[in-house]
Structure 1
Amino acid sequence: MLAGEGAVAIWNDIAEAGRAQFYAWHLQEHMPERVGIPGFVRGRRYRATDKATQPEFFTLYETSSFQVIQGSDYLSRLNEPTEWTRATTAHFQTTTRSLTRVVASHGVGSGGALMTIRFDIADDAVRLVVPRLTSALEAVAQMPRISGAHLLGSDADVSGQSTAESKNRTDLQAPARWVLLLEGCDVQAFDAALELLKKTHELSEASVGCYLHEYTRLKTAWQAG
């Protein structure tokens, strides 16, 4: 199960010249800052398992509610980026950021391996497709070595909101509208799960990535800035 009813999902590459800076900033400032925001409860970072998975990094912030990521505390951080944030994000490439509601979350806990599935659902099909996916995720969560199966739906207007942190950045891509997250003990555990899920037409052209866990930051009272 995810730790709340909201989530910020971020995919990004990093230029080689900024890689060491990215790791230092993410560990020492950025994740503590984000998880220090009221209502943010956990941050996790993952790195791609192979060259076929792009972008290389995936970061997930879990929040107590979707309202938290619409709120003034989070927005104030986005509008007051630190100098270290400005310097580091200048090295970001192919960044996708989705502010999401947790539509469904099943399982017994987090896993060391993660699969992200980005896809779209036509607006007039949401009422039919989402219940089917939710039912499929319940079955996936019972599969061997699968520890979690989650469905996230993004808010395009909120995700695409312009802030001081995003101003003039050329790396930002369109937000993913729908996201499936599968957690497991190893990436091989996802094979049968993906075969089941891809029976849903909307997932036939989905963007799929496999990641391994690098770092988790639990709730902290510290904030930068």
Structure 2
Amino acid sequence: MGLAGEGVLAIWNGIAAAAEPDFLSWHVREHIPERVAVPGFVRGRRYVAVRGEPKYFNFYEAETPAVLASPAYLARLDDPSEWTKRVVRHFRDTSRTACAVVYSKGEGDGAFVATLRLATEVLPSAFLGRVTGNLDALRERDGVVGVHLLRGEAGSGGGATAEKALRGEPDRTAAWILLVEATGPEPLEAILAADIDTVLGGTEAACPPADRGIYRLQYALGRDQLSGPSLRR
């Protein structure tokens, strides 16, 4: 068992300090329920930084990567609510990547996750072949409950949408994303402190310190937990 679908939308964002209380309320009361209600979305989660930037990490599990470019989802992006308009214009340093899940192993969910945005010149098939053994070894570390490797989809920045325009600056994207879930931050600190060649030896992957972080789970919502249509403000 691993992630709940074959697609993931991975988002990091900061938020202007004055807008943060509104963001936290909007995200739980409207935004995540609205996204999870889109056909093909399975679950949404929000995390807050223990270390690293930006402050918030969010990801949505979807049945397939195609869901993240589906007409139903794009229609939602082009019709932001008034509350969304008020909040999203205060986003800062946003990184947003639609991904295919290429490796996912684990049992249950961890309270903490390490996020590593990776870059490599190695072709995807060769990179996956080199990295699998290292990911299996990560999964066996004490305290680690899940390891997931995501490949950024070509063009995952997406086209112009009304919601993207609210953010004002282009979203960054990642070629590869490694997520390591754990019961506490200690095993993740050890992973982030190591040279990336130690963690993913022989894969020719790069991950500068600015692209590594540890985040604590704040909220998660599965599609089967929705009580009804989300309220919009």
Fold-level similarity (TM above 0.5): yes
Q: Report the 3-state secondary structure (helix = DSSP H, G, I; strand = E; otherwise coil) of the residue aligned with 1:21.
A: helix
Pairs within 5 Å for 1:18-97: 18-50=19-51, 53-97=52-96
Query: How many residues in Structure 1 have an aligned counterpart in Structure 2?
Result: 222
1:212 matched to 2:216? The reply is yes
Q: Which runs of 5+ in 2 are unaligned?
A: none
One-letter amino acid of the counterpart of residue 199, structure 2? L
What is the distance in 2 between the residues matched to 1:126 and 1:135?
15
What is the distance in 2 between the residues matched to 1:205 and 1:64?
31
Deviations 1:23-43 (A, max 9, x none): 111011000000011111110
What is the distance in 1 between the residues matched to 2:14 and 2:207?
25
What is the distance in 2 between the residues matched to 1:24 and 1:157?
31
One-letter amino acid of the counterpart of residue 210, structure 1? I
- Offset at 1:191? 4.2
Judge conservation of contact 1:134–1:151 (CA < 8 Å) in 2. Answer: no
1:103 matched to 2:115? The reply is no
One-letter amino acid of the counterpart of residue 146, structure 1? V
Residue in 2 aligned with 1:203? 206
- Change in Cα spacing, 1:191 to 1:131, as seen in structure 2 (3 Å) is farther
Could you tell me the TM-score, scaled by structure 1's length? 0.92
- Offset at 1:126? 2.5
Residue in 2 aligned with 1:129? 127
- Offset at 1:208? 0.5
One-letter amino acid of the counterpart of residue 212, structure 2? V
One-letter amino acid of the counterpart of residue 217, structure 2? H
Q: Aligned residues: percent identity?
A: 36
- Offset at 1:205? 3.1
Deviates further, 177-186 or 161-170? 161-170
One-letter amino acid of the counterpart of residue 102, structure 2? V
Residue in 1 aligned with 2:8? 7
What is the distance in 2 between the residues matched to 1:130 and 1:213?
28
- Change in Cα spacing, 1:103 to 1:78, as seen in structure 2 (3 Å) is same
1:112 matched to 2:114? The reply is no
What is the distance in 2 between the residues matched to 1:8 and 1:169?
17
What is the distance in 2 between the residues matched to 1:42 and 1:174?
23
Could you tell me the TM-score, scaled by structure 2's length? 0.89
